[in-house]
Amino acid sequence: MRTIVWFRGKDLRLADHEPLADALARRGDVVPIFVVDPYFFAPERARELPHRMQFLVDSLAELAENVAERGSRLTFFGGKSVDVVPKLAHAYRADRVVAYRWSEPIGVDRDRRITAALAREGIPFDLFEGETLAKPGEVLTGAGEPFSVFTPFARAFAKVVEIGKPLRAPAALPKAPPVPAGVRPLLTKAPTLESIGVERNEHLVAGGEKASRDRLRRFLKGPAAKYETGRNEMGIEGTSRISQDLKFGTLSARYVWTTAKDALDEHPKAWRVWSNELVWREFAYDVLRVRPSVLTKPFRSAWKGFPWRRDEKAWRAWCEGTTGYPIVDASARQLLAEGFVHNRARMISASFLAKHLLVDFRKGEAHYMKFLTDGDWANNDLGWQWSAGCGVDAQPWFRVFNPVGQGKRFDVDGAYVRRWVPELARLSNRHIHAPWEAPEAELARAGVELGKTYPRPIVDLALARGRFLAAAEGHLAHP
């Protein structure tokens, strides 16, 4: 029995890796491979996703080392996976190919084509579940329908989904068979940032399985116990920061769930609130699997054809962090600098773009996908559609986050703004979220000159809110 274990970008680990464990259990040859597909790795494409590619490349390098330490080799092949994988299966005379299933349309289509090509050679392509805790289609309403509201989904999830123990990483791997002669293009080593034309950003979180586990451990030993309150404070490290680890699979969802459940045994409230966030991820994946069209269309069809504005100047200000609203600007700058944005800042910022600026939320969604290290089709789309008011379980569309009020409430001492908008750092807590309200003397003392050192607000909040509500009311009355 010879099995090709195809690692893909969402399972970059050895611990709790079911396809690998299954191949090992059959006691034959095991061929670990990774395909460097130009869809992601061509320099012109990789530069479009710099932060995710850095995390991916670093995680891959560590995975290759871990495989080598255990006596095998992770072999890299270049080319489109739809062509390469069937060719490899043939050349290696493989009996089967195994991998984890992907939920995104691009992965579903790729796997359908590869399954068909392998079937022509009589080689099974076995896809394992494990991207999420629930299996696709496992959480359904009493009528057997998918959910489109979170709370009943979460209730049903708790009833039906059984979460088993994660598997340990194998202590040793069988020696990889030699690469068959003539298999091209064989790459001698893992891709590097230089080879894909991406400049390293030292401010991103570290990639790899070990760094991911350490991150989870640090969170569980520290901020987790106070998660119910800490999660909303934008100026502190009150959340786990493991979203990219789940996205790239340096941690399995099952490992995260079971480890945290044990660790938070004495903090049931914190566990309830934090695990609820993991269930949001489950929900986002469920929605994407059932309705992949959400990636291009609003979930609520009444929003089709919504009269978004084209406003290049406002759009640029939102991207660059120069809207004149400190919390919105802080989040834009955090994204560009760190490839991350605090969840509450994401909500405020997304609402501001779609509602106050009336710019199509899909532009913001694409911008986040470009720069977020955790950029994830399912979670990002759910977050954007929720914020714009047109998604599953959307906040009521007429609820418009006030960036000043949100800042005063969830960044009380202005720490988040001070960090990311340093030109305002010397303003008082009272005025840091609304510098235009500060008396001249305070502005002068803090070295702030509105319109010069920091922009004046690009829209009036009340007018912009009214403009959005009128547009939405008009459109939804006659969609």
Give residues in contact with ligand FAD (CB under 6 A): 231, 239-243, 246-247, 277-278, 280-281, 284, 343, 346-347, 350, 368, 372, 374-376, 379-380, 382-384, 387
The position carrying tokens 């003539």 is 182
Q: Give whichever of 106 and 463 is closer to ligand FAD, judged by the CB atom.
A: 106
Q: Give whichever of 284 and 404 is closer to ligand FAD, judged by the CB atom.
A: 284
Query: What Cα–Cα distance (Å) separates residue 10 from each residue in 5, 132, 208, 250?
Result: 14, 11, 12, 8
Q: Give whichever of 324 and 383 is closer to ligand FAD, judged by the CB atom.
A: 383
User: Among residues 93, 84, 70, which one has the least CA distance to residue 178?
Assistant: 93
User: How many other C-beta atoms lie within 10 A of the C-beta of residue 76?
Assistant: 18
Taking the complex as a whole, the smallest distance from the CB of residue 163 to ligand FAD amounts, in Å, to 15
Residue 440 contacts residue 414 (beta carbons within 8 Å): no
Taking the complex as a whole, the smallest distance from the CB of residue 439 to ligand FAD amounts, in Å, to 35
Q: Give whichever of 330 and 350 is closer to ligand FAD, judged by the CB atom.
A: 350
Structure token digits, residue 266: 């004495």
Distance CA 193, CA 433 (A): 38
Taking the complex as a whole, the smallest distance from the CB of residue 196 to ligand FAD amounts, in Å, to 21
User: Among residues 109, 132, 95, which one has the least CA distance to residue 39?
Assistant: 109
Taking the complex as a whole, the smallest distance from the CB of residue 241 to ligand FAD amounts, in Å, to 4
Residue 284 contacts residue 371 (beta carbons within 8 Å): no
Structure token digits, residue 111: 């796997």
Taking the complex as a whole, the smallest distance from the CB of residue 174 to ligand FAD amounts, in Å, to 34
Q: Give whichever of 194 and 237 is closer to ligand FAD, judged by the CB atom.
A: 237
Q: Give whichever of 92 and 299 is closer to ligand FAD, judged by the CB atom.
A: 299
Q: Which residue is nearest to ligand FAD (CB)?
A: 383
Taking the complex as a whole, the smallest distance from the CB of residue 107 to ligand FAD amounts, in Å, to 16
Distance CA 341, CA 365 (A): 13
The secondary structure of 352-390 as a DSSP string is IIIIIS---HHHHHHHHHHH-TT--HHHHHHHHHHHHT-
Taking the complex as a whole, the smallest distance from the CB of residue 474 to ligand FAD amounts, in Å, to 25
Residue 23 contacts residue 72 (beta carbons within 8 Å): no
User: Among residues 173, 156, 147, which one has the least CA distance to residue 31?
Assistant: 173
For β-strands 2-7 and 186-187, DSSP reports them as unpaired
CB burial readout 186-213, b (16+ within 10 A) else e: eeeebbebeebebeebeebbebbbebbb
Q: Give whichever of 72 and 244 is closer to ligand FAD, judged by the CB atom.
A: 244
Distance CA 277, CA 124 (A): 36
Q: Give whichever of 191 and 383 is closer to ligand FAD, judged by the CB atom.
A: 383
Q: Give whichever of 46 and 341 is closer to ligand FAD, judged by the CB atom.
A: 341
| Phi and psi at residue 263, to the nearest 5° | -65, -30
* 150 contacts: CB under 8 Å, gap ≥ 6: 279, 280, 283, 392, 393
Task: Please give the helix or strand (H or E) that residue 221 lies within, else none.
Answer: helix 209-221
Taking the complex as a whole, the smallest distance from the CB of residue 373 to ligand FAD amounts, in Å, to 9
Q: Give whichever of 29 and 286 is closer to ligand FAD, judged by the CB atom.
A: 286
Taking the complex as a whole, the smallest distance from the CB of residue 421 to ligand FAD amounts, in Å, to 20
Taking the complex as a whole, the smallest distance from the CB of residue 250 to ligand FAD amounts, in Å, to 12
Q: Give whichever of 19 and 339 is closer to ligand FAD, judged by the CB atom.
A: 339
Taking the complex as a whole, the smallest distance from the CB of residue 43 to ligand FAD amounts, in Å, to 23
User: How many other C-beta atoms lie within 10 A of the C-beta of residue 412?
Assistant: 14
Q: Give whichever of 153 and 368 is closer to ligand FAD, judged by the CB atom.
A: 368
Taking the complex as a whole, the smallest distance from the CB of residue 109 to ligand FAD amounts, in Å, to 21
Q: What angle do CA 107, 33, 131 make, to 5 degrees?
A: 40
